[in-house]
Amino acid sequence: MSAGIGRGRTRDVTRNDRFQEILVFVQIAKSGSFSAAGRALELTPSTISKVVTRLEHKFGARLFNRTTHSVRLSEEGKALFQRASRVIEAMTDAESLIEKFSLAPTGQLRVYALPSFALSQLAPVLPEFLDANPGIRVDIQLGTENIDSVNTDIDIVLRYGRPENSRLVSRKVADSSWVVCASPIYLERRGIPESPADLALHNCLSFSLQTRAVPWSFKSIPEGPGIEGNASSNHAPMLRELALRGVGIIRVADFVVANDIRAGTLIPLLSEFTSKLDEPIFALYQPQPGGSQRVRAFTEFLHRKFSKRPWLVAAP
């Protein structure tokens, strides 16, 4: 019998708690005496006697044949014992499962993330999380839509900004900023813009209209004048690939192109005009009683890995 079930939870058994009554009954049957059962369950003899009397009254039959030296199950008691033992075994298994979940996070974790962040930052560190949490299976779904996690099977949504839905818990895991950049090949061919006004003379690759509006704003300039280009996409990784191939100038989150800038395959532009305001990335999830070990483990991992913006490139 589980120590968790057998101890510290039956002292209120004088109340009309049917499971605790069954627990006392099974313990008496196994121990062979009221006193032994009382010692095992840390209950007084009078409490044990009251529980048995109450059970026998409910069943309308004597459950034990009592003698001076022993307590034996009656026929009715034997029938009850067979079923009651299965109940106790099931509860013991349930407690073991609860203990397992409380000790280490386990189970399926479904995450919906921005493709740009997931591919450039999350994928490289995800093996570390999986190694540290072998009981968790992670399913990463990529997209830019503002999905409603309350009505889906998604556990965590990673997105820019706080949610409008107040039902969700939000935790900031990172900050990002916007970077305007282009490849050396493009700049050699078309020249380097010296001010936002010069962008009117360049091929600027922007986000598609289906994506959340991302204007090319600059310090003291609400929007870059004449921002046009011959290609667009709803995914930053696609814009990055086009920029690397010399197609045009892009404006994307710093974490998307940090390694490229560090390697010199993309060159940052108009830095003195670029706003330094950060845009936060939040992990959004539904509140749960006691919290979810899986969700907590993953959000803490994200905060630990990305809150200090490890992708930032030091100024030369």
The domain tally of the chain equals 3
pLDDT per position as a tens digit, 63-88: 888 877 778 888 888 888 888 888 77
Containing structural domain, residue 57: 3-103
Per-residue pLDDT tens digits for 73-131: 888 888 888 888 887 787 777 666 665 555 667 889 999 999 999 999 999 999 999 99
**Considering 103, 128, 146, which residue would you say is the last residue of a domain?**
103
This prediction has a pTM of: 0.63
Residue at which a domain ends, from 69, 103, 137: 103
Distance of CA 216 to the CA centre of its chain: 33
Q: Rounding to the nearest 10 degrees, give the CA dihedral for residues 282, 214, 193, 231.
A: 110
pLDDT digits (tens, 9 = 90+) for 131-157: 999 999 999 999 888 776 555 789 999
| Residue 68 identity | T
Cβ partners under 8 Å of residue 234, min gap 6: 144, 207, 208, 210, 211
Domain at 214, CATH number: 3.40.190.10
Do both 131 and 250 map to the same domain? no
In-domain check, residue 316: no
Position 313 in a domain: no
Distance separating the N- and C-terminal Cα atoms of the chain? 67
